[in-house]
Amino acid sequence: TKESSRLVKDANKALASGNRKEAEALFHQALGNDNRNASALIGLSDLEFDKGSYQRAADYAEKATAAAPKNGGYHLRLGDALYKLLRYTDARRAYEKAKELGVREASDRLDKLKTKLGGK
Protein backbone atom coordinates (compact mmCIF):
# COMPACT_ATOMS: atom_id res chain seq x y z
CA THR A 1 0.00 0.00 0.00
CA LYS A 2 1.01 3.63 -0.40
CA GLU A 3 0.92 4.14 3.36
CA SER A 4 3.21 1.16 3.92
CA SER A 5 5.69 2.50 1.35
CA ARG A 6 5.65 5.95 2.96
CA LEU A 7 6.37 4.42 6.37
CA VAL A 8 9.35 2.50 4.94
CA LYS A 9 10.71 5.77 3.48
CA ASP A 10 10.35 7.43 6.88
CA ALA A 11 12.02 4.41 8.54
CA ASN A 12 14.97 4.62 6.16
CA LYS A 13 15.31 8.36 6.89
CA ALA A 14 15.28 7.64 10.63
CA LEU A 15 17.90 4.95 10.10
CA ALA A 16 20.09 7.30 8.06
CA SER A 17 20.02 9.81 10.92
CA GLY A 18 20.98 7.11 13.40
CA ASN A 19 17.60 6.69 15.07
CA ARG A 20 17.36 2.90 15.05
CA LYS A 21 14.49 2.66 17.56
CA GLU A 22 12.28 4.94 15.48
CA ALA A 23 13.25 3.10 12.30
CA GLU A 24 12.32 -0.23 13.85
CA ALA A 25 8.93 1.11 14.98
CA LEU A 26 8.23 2.53 11.52
CA PHE A 27 9.20 -0.73 9.78
CA HIS A 28 6.75 -2.55 12.07
CA GLN A 29 4.03 0.02 11.28
CA ALA A 30 4.68 -0.52 7.57
CA LEU A 31 4.18 -4.26 8.07
CA GLY A 32 0.96 -3.49 9.93
CA ASN A 33 -0.30 -1.89 6.72
CA ASP A 34 1.15 -4.55 4.42
CA ASN A 35 2.69 -7.65 5.98
CA ARG A 36 4.41 -8.54 2.69
CA ASN A 37 6.27 -5.24 2.34
CA ALA A 38 9.68 -6.65 1.42
CA SER A 39 11.47 -3.36 2.10
CA ALA A 40 10.15 -3.28 5.67
CA LEU A 41 11.03 -6.95 6.17
CA ILE A 42 14.61 -6.51 4.95
CA GLY A 43 14.91 -3.33 7.03
CA LEU A 44 14.03 -5.29 10.14
CA SER A 45 16.40 -8.06 9.06
CA ASP A 46 19.26 -5.54 8.79
CA LEU A 47 18.46 -4.10 12.23
CA GLU A 48 18.42 -7.56 13.82
CA PHE A 49 21.65 -8.53 12.03
CA ASP A 50 23.39 -5.41 13.35
CA LYS A 51 22.25 -6.31 16.88
CA GLY A 52 23.70 -9.81 16.49
CA SER A 53 20.24 -11.43 16.45
CA TYR A 54 21.07 -13.60 13.45
CA GLN A 55 18.13 -16.00 13.76
CA ARG A 56 15.65 -13.13 13.73
CA ALA A 57 17.59 -11.50 10.88
CA ALA A 58 17.34 -14.75 8.90
CA ASP A 59 13.62 -15.06 9.64
CA TYR A 60 12.90 -11.54 8.35
CA ALA A 61 15.21 -12.02 5.33
CA GLU A 62 13.44 -15.29 4.43
CA LYS A 63 10.12 -13.44 4.47
CA ALA A 64 11.63 -10.62 2.38
CA THR A 65 12.94 -13.06 -0.25
CA ALA A 66 9.54 -14.75 -0.35
CA ALA A 67 7.85 -11.38 -0.92
CA ALA A 68 10.44 -10.21 -3.48
CA PRO A 69 12.08 -13.35 -4.90
CA LYS A 70 13.86 -11.50 -7.72
CA ASN A 71 15.75 -9.14 -5.36
CA GLY A 72 19.27 -10.54 -5.28
CA GLY A 73 20.36 -8.22 -2.48
CA TYR A 74 17.77 -9.76 -0.18
CA HIS A 75 19.10 -13.25 -0.96
CA LEU A 76 22.63 -12.03 -0.20
CA ARG A 77 21.54 -10.70 3.20
CA LEU A 78 19.70 -13.94 3.91
CA GLY A 79 22.93 -15.79 3.12
CA ASP A 80 24.88 -13.55 5.49
CA ALA A 81 22.48 -14.24 8.36
CA LEU A 82 22.51 -17.99 7.66
CA TYR A 83 26.31 -17.95 7.50
CA LYS A 84 26.44 -16.35 10.95
CA LEU A 85 24.13 -19.15 12.18
CA LEU A 86 26.63 -21.72 10.80
CA ARG A 87 23.96 -22.95 8.39
CA TYR A 88 26.50 -23.16 5.56
CA THR A 89 24.46 -25.27 3.12
CA ASP A 90 21.51 -22.87 3.38
CA ALA A 91 23.85 -19.88 3.12
CA ARG A 92 25.39 -21.34 -0.06
CA ARG A 93 21.92 -21.74 -1.55
CA ALA A 94 21.06 -18.11 -0.77
CA TYR A 95 24.38 -16.85 -2.17
CA GLU A 96 23.96 -18.93 -5.34
CA LYS A 97 20.49 -17.44 -5.83
CA ALA A 98 21.92 -13.94 -5.30
CA LYS A 99 24.66 -14.65 -7.85
CA GLU A 100 22.10 -15.97 -10.33
CA LEU A 101 20.21 -12.67 -9.88
CA GLY A 102 23.36 -10.69 -10.72
CA VAL A 103 24.72 -9.68 -7.31
CA ARG A 104 28.49 -9.37 -7.74
CA GLU A 105 29.34 -9.73 -4.04
CA ALA A 106 27.76 -13.20 -4.03
CA SER A 107 30.84 -14.71 -5.73
CA ASP A 108 33.11 -13.43 -2.95
CA ARG A 109 30.76 -14.87 -0.33
CA LEU A 110 30.75 -18.24 -2.11
CA ASP A 111 34.58 -18.21 -2.21
CA LYS A 112 34.71 -17.37 1.51
CA LEU A 113 32.35 -20.27 2.18
CA LYS A 114 34.51 -22.67 0.14
CA THR A 115 37.59 -21.61 2.08
CA LYS A 116 35.73 -22.04 5.38
CA LEU A 117 34.64 -25.54 4.44
CA GLY A 118 38.05 -26.60 3.15
CA GLY A 119 37.66 -26.01 -0.57
CA LYS A 120 34.63 -28.24 -1.15
Of 52, 42, 50, the closest CA to residue 74 belongs to: 42
pLDDT at 120 over 60: no
Percent of the chain with pLDDT over 70: 98
pLDDT, one tens digit per residue, over 20-63 is 999 999 999 999 999 999 999 999 999 999 999 999 999 999 99
pTM: 0.93
pLDDT at residue 75, rounded to an integer: 98
| CB contact burial 4-15 (16+ within 10 A = b; e otherwise) | beebbebbbebb
pLDDT, one tens digit per residue, over 51-94 is 999 999 999 999 999 999 999 999 999 999 999 999 999 999 99
pLDDT at 119 over 80: no
